[in-house]
Amino acid sequence: MPDSPPSPRDTVSARGPVPGHARRAAGLALLLGASLAQAEQAVPGDVVHQFAPAAGFMAGVHEGPTRFGELLRLGDFGTGALSPTDGEVIILDGVVWHAAVDGELRRLPADARTSFATLKRFVPDRRLTLPAVADFSAFAKALDARLGSRNHFHAVRIDGRFQHMKLRSVPRQKPPYPNMRALLAQQQVYEAKDVTGTLVGFRFPSYVAGVIIPGWHFHFVDADRKLGGHVLDLRANPLTAQLDSSRALSLVLPDDPLFNAAPIDEAQTAPAAAGPDNPTSSPPTPSPARQKP
């Protein structure tokens, strides 16, 4: 199906209008191992920011030093985790929401910290018309068929009514922190029917495994801001998706003793089949607790 033409906002970034040639040049950048300040200054324009690599989270790094108030300098749309890991985090319209283990939403304060987050300044490039879908697999295939290149980094926002939504969250973690497989063994699953709300999601190609979890990853908040979580399955009538595609990625490594000591090299990097719903088959050693001074 044809997509709508680009929005007039396509060439606007957090820093104001960006000329087309500058936007294309910025899209070629890959900033790795930067600090928060470096990420803010070095790559203007249309950038996805990753705070802590996925491999660290899978290895059991469930604490981090970065405040959400600091992250919001770089984006208004994203997903992530609390520090220590507790529930699911959704960033939408510059507001950070926390879904507790039962899915109940609350707004997080600016000084709440994260161990792992993905976000960007959301400016849609295109609108995609999606057919009715019976499950998450059909939903992902419908999106993939309309993306264009699967080698870029894609953010998707979908506001609509969903016939069925299956979500999950996890309880607050305590040291010694578990790896991904052990964490998901504790997940709580809950469902909603005929619910209106917003999907916040990303798709990353397999070549960034270890930095960001490849494939589609969606979180959800309902319109009343009472229910949210990580999306496991859904069913919906035709939907309209807003697509924001990027060619630039920044990775910020935590300046943190727990991250520095984590056995990340011993963990397998995260292949496409080893996202949040399919953890790696050989779990690494759990990460130790943070050492108190």
Of 9-13, 69-73, 115-119, which range is least confident? Answer: 9-13
What pLDDT score does 293 carry?
A: 34
Model pLDDT, residue 248: 92
| pLDDT at position 265 | 83
Lowest mean pLDDT among 2-6, 185-189, 266-270: 2-6
2 located within any domain: no
Mean residue pLDDT of the chain comes to 82
Cα dihedral 72/80/144/161 (nearest 10)? -90
Q: How far apart are the C-alpha atoms of 90 and 266, rounded to whole Å?
A: 30
By CB neighbour count within 10 A (0-12 exposed, 13-18 middle, 19+ buried), where does 221 fall? buried
Structure tokens, 169: 């969250």
Q: Is residue 233 in a domain? A: yes
Say which range, 12-21, 119-128, 184-193, 257-266, has the weakest mean pLDDT: 12-21
Buried/exposed code over 37-68 (b: 16+ C-beta within 10 A; e: otherwise): eebbeebbbbbbbbbbbbbbbbbbbbbbbbbb
Please choose, from the candidates 182, 199, 211, the residue with its C-alpha nearest in 3D space to the C-alpha of residue 243: 199
Q: Which of 29-38, 52-61, 136-145 has the lowest mean pLDDT?
A: 29-38
**Amino acid letter at 252?**
V
Residue 255, pLDDT score: 87
Count of domains forming the chain: 1
What pLDDT is recorded for position 122? 97
Q: Average pLDDT of 162-191? A: 96
pLDDT at 207: 95
Q: What is the pLDDT of residue 238?
A: 98
Burial class (CB in 10 A: 0-12, 13-18, 19+), 207: exposed
Read off the pLDDT of residues 102-111 as tens digits, 9 standing for 90 and up: 999 999 999 9
Domain contains 291: no
Report if residue 293 sits inside a domain.
no
Separation CA 161–CA 172 (nearest Å): 30
**What CATH number should be reported for the domain holding residue 253?**
3.30.1330.80
pLDDT at 266 (0 to 100): 75
Give per-residue burial for 263-280: e unless 16+ CB within 10 Å, then b: bbeebbbbeeebbbbebb
Contacts of residue 218, Cβ cutoff 8 Å, sequence gap at least 6: 156, 199, 200, 201, 230, 231
In a domain, 101, yes or no: yes
> Residue 148 is encoded by which pair of tokens?
């264009």
pLDDT at 272 over 60: no
Tokens of 209: 């495994």
* Residue 62 DSSP class: -
Window from 143-147, 161-165, 258-262 with minimum mean pLDDT = 258-262
> pLDDT confidence of 269, banded at 50, 70, 90?
very low
User: Does 286 sit behind a cis peptide bond, omega within 30 degrees of 0 on the bond before it?
Assistant: no
3-state helix, strand and coil shares in percent for the chain, rounded to the nearest 5: 20, 40, 40
The parent domain of residue 44 ranges over 23-274
In a domain, 177, yes or no: yes
Question: In this predicted model, what pLDDT tens digit does every residue of 7-32 receive, in sequence order?
Answer: 333 322 333 333 332 333 333 344 54
| The pLDDT value given to residue 36 | 54
Question: Which amino acid, one-letter code, is at 174?
Answer: K
Average pLDDT score over residue span 181-190: 96
Contacts of 196 (CB under 8 A, 6+ apart): 160, 161, 162, 222, 223
Exposure b/e, 183-196, CB count within 10 A at least 16 = b = beeebeebebeebe
| pLDDT tens profile 228-239 | 999 999 999 999
Q: Is 227's pLDDT higher than 70? A: yes
Kindly state whether residue 237 falls inside one of the protein's structural domains: yes
Alpha carbons 38 and 31: distance in angstroms, whole number: 9
Vertex 59: Cα angle to 99 and 66 (nearest 5): 55
Mean pLDDT calculated for residue range 145-173: 97
- Work out the average pLDDT over 105-131: 97
pTM above 0.85, yes or no: no
Q: Is residue 285 part of a domain?
A: no
Tens of pLDDT, residue by residue over 195-214, are 999 999 999 999 999 999 89
